[in-house]
Amino acid sequence: MAEPFHPWLESFLQRINSNNLPSVSSLQQSLSDSVLYRLWHSQLSSRLLDLQSRLLQAKGQSFYTIGSAGHEGNAAVAAALRLTDPAFLHYRSGAFFIERSKQLPGSTPLYDMLLSFCASSDDPISGGRHKVLGSLALNIPPQTSTIASQLPKAVGAAFAIDLSKRLGQAGSWPHDAIVMCSFGDASANHSTAQGAINAACWAAYQHVPLPLLFVCEDNGLGISTPTPQGWIEQSLADRPELRYFAADGRDLAQSYTAARNAAQYVRRKRQPALLHLSTVRLFGHAGADTEAAYRSKIQVAAELELDPLLASTACVLARGIVSRQQLQQAITELASQISRVAQVASSRPKLHSAAAIMAAIAPVKPAMPAPPLPLPAIRSALFEFDKHNMAKPQHLAKLLNWTLHDLFAQYHNVVLFGEDVGKKGGVYGVSQHLVHAFGANRVINTLLDEQSILGMAIGLAQQGLLPIAEIQFLAYVHNAEDQIRGEAATLPFFSNGQYHNAMVIRIAGLAYQRGFGGHFHNDNSFAVFRDIPGIIVLCPSNGADAALLLRQAVQLAAEQKRLVIFLEPIALYMTRDLLSAGDGGWLCDYPTPDTPLPALGEPAVFNQGPAYEQNRAARPQLAIISYGNGYYLSRQAAAELQSAGYNLRLLDIRCVVPLHIDAIVAALDGCQQVLIVDECRRRGSLSEELFTALHEARPGWYQLSRITAMDSFIPLGTAAYAVLPSKQQIMDKVLQLIEQTPKPSAATTGAPL
């Protein structure tokens, strides 16, 4: 070899040569010679890859050393499953990945994994963006450094497989598939894991099909913190809705038998099960982990003797499958092969440009035709429940409801779910009558757990359905935001655009709710979404825009596979009037389903005041930029200022993430004075980004100012309006800005863009 073996491999070969291997009480007769040898080979391949990664890291060529050493018994789990069973893997599942690759002729797992270790742009799953275990062909959606965050979406995927069968929809995975999800013993204590396991049991208790195999790989350590002995069994074995199986990960035959029995149970019963696989963690948590800081040498040495590879090697030799000499030769040849492959992988190109790195965040998909609109007769029957209102202008909530009916009729793979969305129709009635029209398989009441709701959305999306998840209140999403940030939004990035989480998440939020208080039901901050790459956040202020933007959200999810947050201002749901009681100024006609959609990011423009051209020299035009409740208040302020002769241009930006600043600048044509009215808090609000972006777009041109809410939570009752922008504040600010601005000169008025 051009390079020396890793010290562990030298020791391993010496132990084989001297027959210093564990005693074999059972020759694992339940495994055939060929299966035993194949599994052993997968285990060895995984171990040698781990060692090679550390050798590469020492040269600065590898960037990830959380290995699978001691967990290689999960190769037996892979052997017990089908290629078409989606697997959401723990990061110590290298042997599982290699064993599954053997089910697909032509796979090159050694090269693929080494490309990933070396962060090469040739890496077939992430394109060099992260070391992940994933493959579209192997039905392994990639996970990053998971701390149970993959469990909710695994529950969602399991639910989605049987749901797609009930709906007659072809899915990414066959209708008889089961989902496998592995995680560590320390992660089992995470609230995300507990919530996901509870959700699976909640469904199973009601006899809802949920074919999911949880695999807890229990090595007894959470980095340096020991898991109490017996804790996993104590906490998970006695749940009647979750069938419990257990195996010693050192024993391939026992692990394979338990995994096969568990998989058969899940596949036949369509109910969840847990496989508790006892493992050992070798070589520390990762390359940088120094075990001596928290474990004694005696403990470390004792666990080295529990190495599953020693046990399976002893079995291979005891069964006489190969001779000791043949085995040593096979090991050295595989080690040499991996070393050679590593040299090639480490020389392959890396990502260098920001454009190449970011290309996978939201890759552009080919245009595709939308499903045909429902026939008039179908729509007539669909809206029979509300036919007396169809010709009348309606408020925002009503038009959203009608839009959902039309979308359900057009897109047969749309599924709406969340708390109370069924017969109750949601807290604010937005989903009323949908369950009666389309059934309980498309309008689904969930348990009260936002992590499970968002995990369900991810699972449905990956099965090819088009999920519309409802989060009851904006602040509720904070309980589960990592399912959006760390799971749903990252999947295209970490899979180089091969996987996606196309979905619409409807969230009722923002402030100005009379009588409501506290941050949980009257929350005026959506900053959590604004720094997540790739997502879109739409926010309508009126019913007509709500209908058009919700159709746009579904179209973006269906065609471009985008993750869209649809933020619905609660205070405007039922708002009917604009200027005075009974004027109906905020009611809108329902846009028919064939109404053209606005360009994404194009603001709605409304001009209020005397003809601008007649007053250009006397009164320069001021523009107000806002959204949601702020736009509603700005319209009220502009109407009152009109009587004094002021010309105002109002922009409702509608698409608040990402800001399409070129479209906003174009809509500001002729306006130098710009007032941003932002109902969110001063610190961290959209107004900060708008202020900066407009200045960067046209340095020195705009005279910018802003009104925001105070940096406060929302109090109860009328006190809320003391910390939120008001119509009077907008009017006062407009007058202040106009009166303090010098009369424009011919050199500046109407300066070209």
Q: How high is the mean pLDDT of the chain?
A: 92
Q: Return the percentage of the chain with pLDDT > 70, whole number.
A: 95
Work out the average pLDDT over 158-181. 97
Residue carrying structure tokens 């006190």: 719
* Omega of the bond leading into 369 within 30 degrees of 0 (cis): no
Q: What is the CA radius of gyration of the chain?
A: 30
pLDDT range class, residue 749, cuts 50, 70, 90: very low
Please provide the DSSP assignment of 71-106 as one string. Answer: -TTHHHHHHHS-TTS-EE--TT-HHHHHHHHTTSTT
Kindly indicate the confidence band of residue 515, based on its pLDDT and cuts at 50, 70 and 90. low
pLDDT at 289: 79
Which residues, other chains included, contact 172 with Cβ-Cβ below 8 Å and sequence gap of 6+?
Answer: 86, 462, 463, 464
Comparing CA positions, the residue from 429, 425, 469, 427 lying closest to residue 449 is 469
pLDDT band at 618 (very low <50, low <70, confident <90, very high): very low
Cβ atoms within 10 Å, residue 639: 16
Query: Going from the N-terminus, what domains does the chain have, and what CATH number goes with each?
Result: 7-21+30-348 (3.40.50.970), 376-572 (3.40.50.970), 604-739 (3.40.50.920)
Mean pLDDT over residues 716-720, rounded? 86
Q: Phi and psi (nearest 5°) for 568?
A: -105, 120
Mean pLDDT of the 241-245 span:
97
Mean pLDDT calculated for residue range 360-366: 92
Q: Which letter, b or e, does each residue of 347-380 get, where b requires 16 or more Cβ atoms within 10 Å of its Cβ? A: ebeebeeeeeeebbbbbeeeeeeeeeebeeeebe
Which tens digit of pLDDT belongs to each residue from 596-612? 999 999 999 999 987 55
Residue 748's pLDDT band, with cuts at 50, 70 and 90, is very low
Q: Is the pLDDT of residue 751 over 70?
A: no
Range of 90-94, 241-245, 288-292, 372-376 with top mean pLDDT: 241-245
Is the pLDDT at 569 greater than 80? The verdict is yes
pLDDT at 283: 86
- pLDDT, residue 33, reads 93
Query: Is a pLDDT exceeding 90 seen at residue 629?
Result: yes
- Categorize the per-residue pLDDT at 23 as very low, low, confident or very high, splitting at 50, 70 and 90: confident
The string of pLDDT tens digits covering residues 86-137 is: 999 999 999 999 999 999 999 999 999 999 999 999 999 999 999 899 999 9
Q: Report in angstroms the alpha-carbon separations of 207 from 156, 204, 270.
A: 16, 5, 9
Contact in structure between 598 and 548 (CB atoms under 8 Å):
yes
What's the average model confidence in pLDDT over 31-60?
94
Which range, of 124-133, 152-161, 207-216, averages the lowest pLDDT? Answer: 124-133
Considering the chain, what percentage of its residues have pLDDT values greater than 90?
Answer: 82
